[in-house]
Chain A
């Protein structure tokens, strides 16, 4: 079945550091790919998405590119801030399969 594997956490970085959180997926077809963010005590918010190969999703300085050849959707940000501290979930969704398949989440902590 479909699965999503993402970088184990927790990840701790200093403010203004470069961030990469790896995500790879398996799917039978051509899924849409998502990054959701969960701030402390809150629900999941969509951060960005991409629906086809080579699409780049971007939001709030975060970017991720849909790489079909490597089945990856790595999340990047050039300069992280303390306010980026949260848990980040990679997810895939494929038509014909009603659910989103989630990775286990990566807890990110940014220290000043």
Chain B
């Protein structure tokens, strides 16, 4: 299994440009997440999905959009890039089953470093 893969590894955007960060997992996980990691800070949740066709906002969703048309893919879209979106973006996935009694482990991709100038 490749686990969680993300592309690209690094990207420079100009203010106002748009781009899509790709995320794919091959573990048949139902839950997927997007986090951002700012320097010296912990990770903040942007959006998450509990299954294909279902997405919801996290703590810091402004300026981003997501879709989940398949179990495997969870792309993150930046429509009008701003310097405040300079960050490292991590995709993660997990499996939560019916009646699960504990919070499950999330598995992370290698990250996409984004610089907005």
Residues of chain A at the chain B interface (Cβ within 8 Å): 4, 31-32, 34, 36, 42-46, 49, 51-52, 89, 91, 93-95, 98-105
Contacts and interface: CB of A to CB of B under 8 A. Distances in A.
B42 A46 contact: no
A98 B100 contact: no
Contact of A89 (B42, B56, B102, B105): B42
Interface string B30-65: 010100000011110100101000001011000000
A101 B110 CA distance: 19
Given A43-B108, A46-B107, A99 B33 contact: yes
- A-B pairs, top 3 by smallest CB distance, nearest first, are A102-B42, A93-B103, A99-B45
Given A43-B111, A44-B90, A99-B33, A94 B42 contact: no
B109 interface: yes
B20 interface: no
A105 B41 CA distance: 7
A4 B86 CA distance: 24
A93 B92 CA distance: 14
A94 B105 CA distance: 11
Contacts of A51: 102-103
B104 to A, nearest CB: 8
Given A98-B56, A104-B41, A105-B40, 4 more contacts: A32-B102, A100-B45, A100-B106, A102-B42
A100 B90 contact: no
Contacts of B90: 43-44
A34 B111 contact: no
Given A43-B111, A102-B42, A95 B105 contact: no
A103 B42 contact: yes
A88 B43 CA distance: 12
A94 B31 CA distance: 15
A100 B93 CA distance: 12
Contacts of A98: 31, 33, 45, 48, 50, 56, 58
Nearest to B111: A43
B109 to A, nearest CB: 5
